[in-house]
Amino acid sequence: MSASLIQSCLLAARPKTLPAAIVPVWAGCVLAWKLSGTFDLPLALWTLIGAIAIQIATNFFNDAIDARKGADTEKRLGPVRVTASGLMSPRAVMGIATAFLGIAVVCGVLLYQARGWPILAIGIPSLFLAYGYTGGPFPLAYRGMGELFVIAFFGLIAVAGTVFIQTGQWPQEAFLLGLQIGLLSSVLISINNFRDRAEDATTGKRTLAVRFGPKVAAAVIWLEIKVAAFAGLGWLAFGKPALMIASLPVLLLGMRILWGVFTLPPGPAFNKLLALAGVQLILFAALFHLAARLA
């Protein structure tokens, strides 16, 4: 592979989005260990590899499909898209996306052998929506459902599914943690859509920011951050108050993100807010791990 092809593949894979796939598995494994006292490394690795493969496949599909629909134009404010810019052909991008789905399927088979039919209930919709997020007859990203998709599949289902894979159970704590992580992951989508609102409005991509305008777009981000932070109080109900420490980055970095959202015009400056939202998600998982280990 040439250096330029490798660089193009890295662009299409969007490494900065991978924390949204890694954090639910990381935090879910920590919670499973906290609740059961056990940790299965092979199952954790298959879960992590499968989650990352689905995330990368989603990014490649998104790159090719958005270009085909004209959603990525020369007015784009975010990173370069390889299909729209001509760095890679649509066929190559779709082929790589399919290959990563194949990797996810292999991981799913191994997990199915360990945990049975619930893996199918989680895995089949996840595989389909890797394409269906932007493609198919009802593309979620084009219908203003991107945030709900992320909260559900990168939060509630990803975390609870990871805990189930580790323990064989569906504890209520997993859904609280999943809600927090899903909301923090959704902040990434909301900032991205707010930044791209003007362009999306001209290409038929009806995100929440396009449908309801900038005030609602900012309010959605405010709500995601605030609910994620204060949902941490729920750990009191489970007798694990130390786990509330994980909300500290949300309270601190979240305020900086919200200041930018409410004061800066949507544009290139939002790329920094996007980076801060990614750091916020990683720090949440790191402090959750630390609190669980020390408590």
> Token pair for residue 41?
């490394």
Residue 247: both structure tokens together: 């909300």
| Banded pLDDT at 77 (limits 50, 70, 90) | low
Distance, CA of 31 to CA of 213 (rounded, Å): 38
On whether the CB atoms of residues 194 and 214 are closer than 8 A, the answer is yes
- What is the domain range of residue 195? 3-294
- The Cα 13–Cα 97 span in angstroms is 9
Whole-angstrom distance, CA of residue 260 vs CA of residue 266: 9
Instruction: Tell me: pLDDT of 114 over 80.
Output: yes
- The answer, yes or no, to whether residue 251 has pLDDT greater than 60, is yes
Task: Say what the pLDDT of residue 182 is.
Answer: 97
Q: What tokens appear for 67 in the block?
A: 């270009």
pLDDT band per the 50, 70, 90 thresholds, residue 78: low
pLDDT: which is higher, 203 or 34: 34
Count how many domains the chain has: 1
Token pair belonging to 106: 């292999």
The residues near 272 (Cβ < 8 Å, ≥ 6 apart) are 260
What is d(CA 39, CA 13) in angstroms, rounded to the nearest whole number? Answer: 29
Confidence band for 86, pLDDT divided at 50, 70 and 90 = confident
Question: Which stretch of 64-78, 115-129, 236-250, 267-281 has the lowest confidence by average pLDDT?
Answer: 64-78
25 near 158, Cβ under 8 Å?
A: yes
CATH number of the domain to which 160 belongs: 1.10.600
Closest to 51 measured CA to CA, from 12, 17, 3: 17
Q: Give tens-digit pLDDT for 180-199.
A: 999 999 999 999 999 989 88
**Token digits for 129?**
């929506």
Q: Could you read off the pLDDT of 207-231 as tens digits, one per residue?
A: 999 999 999 999 999 999 999 999 9
End-to-end CA distance of the chain: 48
Cβ atoms of 194 and 218 within 8 Å: the answer is: yes
